[in-house]
Structure 1
Amino acid sequence: MATAIVVRKVWRPAFADLRGARRRALWWSVGPSGELAVLLVHRRHLRRSRYVKGWMGWTPSMPFDGVLVIRSADGSVRRRRLKDLQIRPRHIALLPGSRILLVGGRTSHDGQGVWAPNATVYSPDGEPEREFCIGDDIPVLTTDARGVIWTAYGDEGIYGGHPESAAGLAGWNSDGRATWVPEGRLPDTPLEGCAAATERDHVWLAWYSGTRHGGTFLTRITPATGVVTSWPSPVTAPDGIAVHGNRMLLTKRDHNRRSTHITRAELTGTVWETVEERRIRTPGRVVLGCGQGRDGVLWLRAGDTWVDLHA
């Protein structure tokens, strides 16, 4: 018998970090050890889109400063100042050695195959170490414990001419070199990345295909052995996944509402079967970029509050 899905409020930035300092909580990530990292930016650097809901609708004018707040697994909080940032991030991620990765969602080329950098690695002191291009149109990004960066691309990247983006999924080292590509090991042709998770030595990427007989797939990559296994997903285009052994949680938001739909699935033979579905209330509105999975824990952002759910 499956245990009940428990929604646990984990963290909300302090008033002094947000309204008290006129900052907004923007890009966020969960590290491989369960550290929650959130980049706060002062409102003077920001303008708001009329069309994009939630925190993703705020865009910084460059260069801009930020404060990275990192909540460790033990509940302690530390802050790091980042100055004169020269990239408009779509993602941030934590790398080994207390380094930070900022990644823009898009890039461009000069017409001769040279792509503009859209990823910057920052040192523990907040200084830029290197920059490189990590592909084009990146809706999904995560890192594993070894510091490998995993990406799943959108249709404009897949059909835009970038070699790694064209494959739909990719793995990168922090020097900007592609270390893994699917090489024909996927069940269909990707059209859009949906969500990502890590589980022990595995990386999971959820994506969907645009072919006539396609659908949404869950791909598990084992970097140490090179084994790639894919299954049809029990949920179409989930925005968050977390895996623990033969159990999985998948979320699909009610966009810009204070709720989300949760599905619990179990691997039975060669099929992920739904064993429970329900809608939950959340402490804030759920929009794009809402879910990340780490070792069976699904972190869900609802407004400026983070909750977690266990697979």
Structure 2
Amino acid sequence: MELTFRGELAPPEEGDALACLSLSPHGEPVALWTAPADHGEQTAKDTLPNGVRVPRTRLGRGVPMRFVTYRPEPVVTALETALAVPHAQPLSGGRVLVVGARCAYSPEEGPERNAEIHGADGRLLARGTLGDGIASVRTDTDDGIWVGYFDEGIFGNNGWGSPDGPAPIGSDGLVRFTDDLTRDGRPLPGNGPWGLPAESPRVALESTTLWTSFHNMRERVLVRFDPSEDGETRRGWSLEGTGGGWAVPLGQDRTVAQVGGEDGHDVLTYTTLEDDGRAVPGARFRLTLPGGEPLGRVRGHGHAGVLHMFSGTTWWSADLERRPQ
């Protein structure tokens, strides 16, 4: 299956360096940009007394950044933040969420605040703590903030999970926060019979419905979480025997497209989700660039049946509901 070239995502100012790139709740590319010199500081590592190099949690000063939502006419929000290794997502009213990937806890000072909400004018509106070891951040159409954690955020580091520190905020692997930067009290996808993520979970969103695939230390599973449904909001399926990968939900009933997995990052498998919790793989294809060129190193995101792929600032997509014959 060939991807369609969608374009190059231009920086808001000439020479800007890309800090992070993702999708909005409406399926638009969104990116955070900074000056090259500041970008180097944001991604630099500090050396501990024992010689171990670790990503810094924040800079000594705020640096200018530009958040862009790529529409036919891109929308640019200028802001300033001292957070290092940032993730960024839009919120309603033109607000911008910026989250630093690392967050330290100390008994003397408590937790660092590694989340900020900026207004459409760039003004800082709120700060909060979303925890350490953040691998991904996505917002939904109700301003829910979905945060996925890698192993250090799940099992503890930077003072979290230590004898003198609190349990890691990311111990559930995937946590939903509200737009006041407090934890949502509803049940989460992992708190069910499918177990908790032991690695960074992959996420796809449709409005407020979340699909997440992860390994729970026993098997790879897929969980659908819809907070708007009456009764049981979660359903799960075992992905054993399907080749793994992460899921993009399709409009067709009980069908997802699995991307990547055991046979390569360019494999696409159409999978049927059965009532008994099994996932049955079907037609399988290789994803290529236009002209049949190999996919190469890319980062993928799914939204409403569309697969979006990015290599640096180059954007491709594929309508997965129009499967090849």
Normalising by structure 1, we get a TM-score of 0.80
Q: Cα 1:90–1:279, aligned 2, differ >3 Å: closer, same or farther?
A: farther
Closer/same/farther in 2, CA of residues 112 and 278 from structure 1, 3 Å limit? farther
Structure 1 unaligned blocks of 5 or more: 52-56
Residue 77 of structure 2: aligned partner: 80
Aligned to 2:49: none
Q: Paired residue for 1:190?
A: 197
Is 1:175 equivalent to 2:171 in the alignment? Answer: no
CA 1:28–1:253: 2 relative to 1, 3 Å = farther
Match runs of 1:45-84 below 5 Å = 45-47=38-40, 62-72=61-71, 75-82=72-79, 84=80
CA distance in 2, matches of 1:229, 1:101: 29
1:220 is matched with which residue: 214, 219, 224? 224
Q: Which residue of 2 aligns with 1:54?
A: none
Residues of 1 paired with 2:96 and 2:44: CA distance?
A: 30
1:6, 1:310 within 8 Å by CA — same for their partners in 2? no
Map of 2:52 onto structure 1: none
For residues 217-259 of structure 1, the C-alpha deviation after alignment (integer angstroms, 9 at most, x for no partner) is: 11111112461112123343x3x532124222232389xx9x7
Q: Hey, which of these two has a bigger chunk of strand by percent?
A: 1
Q: Deviations over 1:23-78 (max 9, x none)?
A: 22231221122222112222122329799xxxxx9x99653222222212xx3323
Amino acid across the alignment from 1:116 = E
Report the structure number with the largest CA radius of gyration. 2
Question: Structure 2 length as normaliser, TM-score?
Answer: 0.77
1:183-214 per-position Cα deviation (integer Å, ceiling 9, x unaligned): 8414123211231111244111222122xxx1
Distance 1:102 1:271 in 2: 38
Unaligned runs of 5+ in 2: 46-54, 162-166, 321-325
1:301 is matched with which residue?
310
Say what the alpha-carbon RMSD is for the aligned residues.
Answer: 3.1
- Tell me the secondary structure at the aligned position of residue 302 of structure 2: strand
In the TM superposition, what are the counterparts of 1:14-25 in structure 2 within 5 Å?
14=10, 17=11, 21-25=14-18
Kindly indicate whether the alpha-carbon contact (under 8 Å) linking 1:164 and 1:178 is maintained by their aligned counterparts in 2: no
Counterpart secondary structure, 1:230? strand
Whether the 8 Å contact between 1:153 and 1:191 is mirrored in structure 2 is no
| Structure 1 residue ranges (4+ consecutive) displaced by more than 4 angstroms after TM superposition | 48-51, 59-62
Q: Secondary structure at the match of 1:190?
A: coil
- Identical aligned residues as a percent: 22
Q: How does 1:201-240 map to 2 (within 5 A)?
A: 201-210=208-217, 214-225=218-229, 227-233=233-239, 234-236=242-244, 238=245
Matched pairs, number: 285
